[in-house]
Structure 1
Amino acid sequence: MSTQHILLDGLPVSFTDGQTIMQAAMAADIFIPHLCHHPEFKPQGSCKLCTVKANGRYVSACTMPARDGMEVENNSPDLNDKRRTMLQMLFVEGNHFCPSCEKSGRCMLQALAYELEMLTPHFPQFYPDRAVDASHPEVLLDFNRCILCELCVRASRDVDGKNVFALSGRGISKHLIVNAESGRLADTDFSLADKAAHVCPVGVILRKRRGFAVPIGSRRYDVQPIGMQVERLARRTTTEEV
């Protein structure tokens, strides 16, 4: 069978049957901004950061199958401007205080803001009133930072088989919950060994007694910006935190 290619920002990128634009790009070490994509999970296109133009149409790169001869636009001023707007909305819809966050330097939301040169949140802050759950002996949940990517929901359901997390509500009231009558993580069978404990791209699921262990300057995205870590993003493992 002849090799199939898409044209990604003018560069020929090969792919195999069944691969999405995102998968083809990552295999070629080409970065497409994303938050909800994970190589081990079925894509669902919830964050829209990976929006590209395929043959002139806006599509989600993580869900759109690659097709031979498809012309894809990814790194353009128009698309990056739209991505910055989406990032700005994510920042103001939660309580993201990067200097004091334990995930600072290892947070994909923060790293993408740097990558796309987001200099201001632009929109008025919502300052939602969200609780912190410190009931579990090993894990702290800070719901203030949730971006509704559903990675923990999918990991707990599809990999761990526990259904510890879920989303509740609609629209602006939509939020992450713990599937326990009490709503407390301590009243579930959640464990640090779970896949769900290691997939959060921001700072919601935090291991206790490990905060700020890596000094500034040595953190993941201090060492190398997210756009240069395509290979690492393409091979996430259960033991490696995002």
Structure 2
Amino acid sequence: MSDDSSMLLDGLPVAFADGQTIMEAAMAAGIFIPHLCHHPDFKPQGSCKLCTVKANGRYVSACTLPAKDGMEVENNSPDLNDKRRTMLQMLFVEGNHFCPSCEKSGNCMLQALAYELEMLSPHFPEFYPDRPVDASHPEVLLEFNRCILCELCVRASRDVDGKNIFALSGRGITKHLIVNAESGRLADTDFSLADQAAHVCPVGVILEKRHGFAVPIGSRRYDVEPIGMQVERPATAGTPGTRDEQA
């Protein structure tokens, strides 16, 4: 592929390198495509489907489809944003998301995307699943009620940390996040705050104890600037900035 390969994204020419996905090309150009499960450090997975775009008239996942020269991609349209709102509404009712009382409020990608896409209500009946909290670890609290099954912690622990601390169990509506220990408790693993898996959760599942309100609500990442204006490499363990600033 030549160096001048480009696609049209909402009518704008966007150059891309050989092998880049639509998502990677858009982010490199500073264009926001809504997403939850995408992370630049991991192979694309296409779990959340929020990055669904129209490429040459077909619905596709922007994080998995390679960009092609001359491709015409539709991203920011009423039709696509309506579908994304519906997916967000389903994510909110499938878990227990109570934003006003959540430590991650203002740093939560799910909440930020709801604001970005003007989601005014959950719309569907709440499921209220019974998911016990794991407070066994001395440094970290696991609030399973907020899990959206993005698998970022699973991939980080497996592919980066080499520990396989987390996994998904069950199928369909019973699918849920588990800890890979005989007891099922995080304290019975070698999980550490130094792990990348400790800092990739886009919502409020993996929480550092005694740190929740170090940055006051109103001054947090998505309080300061909407998520659609923050097209950048997500902060991870070992990068500058406070943990409350990380996505």
The alignment's TM-score, normalised by the length of structure 1, stands at 0.98
Q: Would you say the 8 A contact 2:166–2:180 is kept in 1?
A: yes
1:164 alignment counterpart:
165
Give the aligned residue type for 1:4.
S
**Cα distance, 1:213 vs structure 2:** 1.6
Distance 1:5 1:72 in 2: 11
Distance 1:161 1:35 in 2: 23
Long gaps (5+) in structure 2: 240-245
**Cα distance, 1:212 vs structure 2:** 1.5
Q: CA separation of 1:211/1:237 partners in 2, compared to 1, >3 Å: closer, same or farther?
A: closer
Give the aligned residue type for 1:46.
S
Distance 1:46 1:152 in 2: 13
* Alignment coverage as a number of residue pairs: 240
1:211 aligns with 2:206: no
Distance 1:238 1:63 in 2: 25
Give the aligned residue type for 2:178.
I
SS of equivalent residue, structure 2 residue 120: coil
Q: Would you say the 8 A contact 1:39–1:236 is kept in 2?
A: no
1:238 alignment counterpart:
237
Distance 1:217 1:123 in 2: 28
1:114 alignment counterpart:
115
The equivalences for 1:47-62 within 5 A come to 47-62=48-63
Give the aligned residue type for 1:102.
E
**Cα distance, 1:237 vs structure 2:** 2.8
The equivalences for 1:1-242 within 5 A come to 1-231=2-232, 234-239=233-238, 241-242=246-247
Distance 1:47 1:192 in 2: 26
Distance 1:25 1:2 in 2: 16
**Cα distance, 1:2 vs structure 2:** 4.3
Q: Would you say the 8 A contact 2:94–2:129 is kept in 1?
A: yes
Give the aligned residue type for 1:116.
L
SS of equivalent residue, structure 2 residue 163: coil
Give the aligned residue type for 1:69.
G
**Cα distance, 1:239 vs structure 2:** 3.5
Q: CA separation of 1:111/1:191 partners in 2, compared to 1, >3 Å: closer, same or farther?
A: same
Q: Would you say the 8 A contact 1:94–1:147 is kept in 2?
A: yes
Long gaps (5+) in structure 1: none
Q: Would you say the 8 A contact 1:198–1:239 is kept in 2?
A: no
* CA deviation profile, 1:77-120 (whole Å, cap 9, x unmatched): 00000000000000000000000000000000000000000001
Give the aligned residue type for 1:195.
Q
Give the aligned residue type for 2:77.
S
Distance 1:173 1:237 in 2: 30
Give the aligned residue type for 1:165.
F
**Cα distance, 1:215 vs structure 2:** 1.4
Distance 1:114 1:215 in 2: 19
SS of equivalent residue, structure 1 residue 132: coil
The alignment's TM-score, normalised by the length of structure 2, stands at 0.96
**Cα distance, 1:217 vs structure 2:** 1.8
**Cα distance, 1:235 vs structure 2:** 4.6
Q: Post-superposition, which runs of at least 4 consecutive aligned residues in structure 1 deviate over 4 A?
A: none
Percent of residue pairs identical? 87
SS of equivalent residue, structure 1 residue 176: strand
**Cα distance, 1:214 vs structure 2:** 1.2
Distance 1:25 1:57 in 2: 18
Distance 2:238 2:117 in 1: 28
Q: Would you say the 8 A contact 2:106–2:220 is kept in 1?
A: yes
